[in-house]
Amino acid sequence: MKTYDINAIASRFNLGIEVSEISPLGEGFINDTFIIKDSSGPRYILQRKNHIVFPDVPGMMDNIAKVTGHIRSKGGVTLKVAESGNGKLFWQDEEGNYWAVCEYIGNSVCYDKADSVSLARKGGEGLGIFHRMVSDFDQPLVEVIKGFHNIRHRFNQWDESVRRDAAGRVASLSEEISWIESRRSRMLSFWSEYESGLIPTRVIHGDTKLSNFLFDAKTGDCLCAIDLDTMMSSTVLCDTGDALRAYTNTGAEDDKDTGKVSMSMDYFKAYIGGYLSEMKDYLSPSEIKYLAFSGVYITFEQVLRFLMDYIDGDTYYKIAYPQHNLVRTRAQYALLCSMENQLPQMNEFVSRECGMSAE
């Protein structure tokens, strides 16, 4: 990570505390994150927002202010964004970097991996609560990343990447490329149902992996969604799908041993059971129909995105070693196959939970 004069940056915000320490936090692939402490402990989270990935940071911060304001007005727990000295929700440094600060939520814990079915259940409840809280939000939101979970858009980028072959890697990837091509029409036909309006448009979080939710350190309940940068209007199936990708994986997102990677049916049931306990009455029949498939959809999208970044020469995701994006691609593909194989049982579970007979 590049070094910044982090104390000078923090001093641009109206924090109202005596800062005692600022240290790096977490391993996000996109932003740089720091924790600001005073003598009582952690107080704020400071982030450099990646403005290559998020071209409209002011628009993004505006989305966050609107949605968190809505949740707060309904008595829900959510992030509180701090203003900078100029009254904006961000501060731009001389190099053009955007910085933003939000209050640290105390007595909370955050996980990288679900290590129990009860955590998966709580996580599902947490996303359900978030979707329920925003189900009546009706203001327009900025599309922070164009076509983020839109597979038609992703395929357009994909076609261009393969044609460009910027890193000269395409010739060596015929097997991996066939994983994408053989699923093209199925993924596009699902997305057409969204485009046609059959699947409703709502506020989504956009990046529902485990570490983007806080849990109560005492009760274990999910407290709130964090990392709200990718919130936009889309289908909630993107969120359930991305969460299933994260929660149900028996291995790591970038497992070198793909034999360790599979979808745990127990974790699937726990997560979806928790989600439906909060959201069942708010979902349309089309959302219920595709709830289990949502995991397949987003895991496929992630295989495509990791492979596309590898083809592009690793320009998007931070990597820890040269083959990292290829290792991620193969690990996510193993998860995708495992989900595809278990889809009938996943659908059966959803139907049963929703009191419908399985198709």
Output the residue with the shortest Cβ distance to Mg ion: 227
Would you say 82 and 13 are in contact if contact means Cβ atoms under 8 Å apart? yes
227 contributes a contact to ligand GN1 by CB under 6 A:
yes
Binding segment for Mg ion among 21-29, 49-57, 110-118, 283-291 (CB under 5 A)?
21-29
Q: How far apart are CA 68 and CA 71, in angstroms?
A: 5
Binding segment for ligand GN1 among 28-36, 93-101, 119-127, 129-137 (CB under 6 A)?
28-36
Identify the residue among 63, 84, 108, 230 touching ligand GN1 (CB under 6 A). 230
Footprint of Mg ion on 27-46 (CB under 5 A): 28
Hey, what amino acid is at 357?
Answer: S
H helix intervals, the chain: 6-10, 57-73, 117-133, 151-164, 174-181, 184-195, 236-247, 265-279, 285-289, 291-312, 324-353
Measured from the CB atom, is 29 or 172 closer to ligand GN1?
A: 29
125 contributes a contact to ligand GN1 by CB under 6 A:
no
Would you say 12 and 84 are in contact if contact means Cβ atoms under 8 Å apart? yes
CB of 301 to ligand GN1, least distance (A): 8
DSSP letter at 290 equals T
From the list Mg ion, ligand GN1, none, pick the one residue 97 interacts with, judged by a Cβ distance below 5 to 8 Å according to partner type.
none
Q: How far apart are CA 143 and CA 135, in angstroms?
A: 18
29 contributes a contact to ligand GN1 by CB under 6 A:
yes
CB of 50 to Mg ion, least distance (A): 11
Binding segment for ligand GN1 among 4-12, 188-196, 204-212, 289-297 (CB under 6 A)?
204-212
The tokens for 83 are 């203003």
Q: How far apart are CA 224 and CA 212, in angstroms?
A: 9
Q: Which residues pair with 81 in a beta bridge?
A: 102
From the list Mg ion, ligand GN1, none, pick the one residue 255 interacts with, judged by a Cβ distance below 5 to 8 Å according to partner type.
none
30 contributes a contact to ligand GN1 by CB under 6 A:
yes
From the list ligand GN1, Mg ion, none, pick the one residue 30 interacts with, judged by a Cβ distance below 5 to 8 Å according to partner type.
ligand GN1
Measured from the CB atom, is 64 or 288 closer to ligand GN1?
A: 64
Hey, what amino acid is at 289?
Answer: K
Hey, what amino acid is at 74?
Answer: K
Closest CA to 13 of 72, 76, 83, 73: 83
249 three-class SS: strand
28 contributes a contact to ligand GN1 by CB under 6 A:
yes
Which residues of this chain interact with ligand GN1, rule CB under 6 A? 28-30, 53, 207, 209, 212, 227, 230, 253, 302
Which residues of this chain interact with Mg ion, rule CB under 5 A? 28, 212, 227
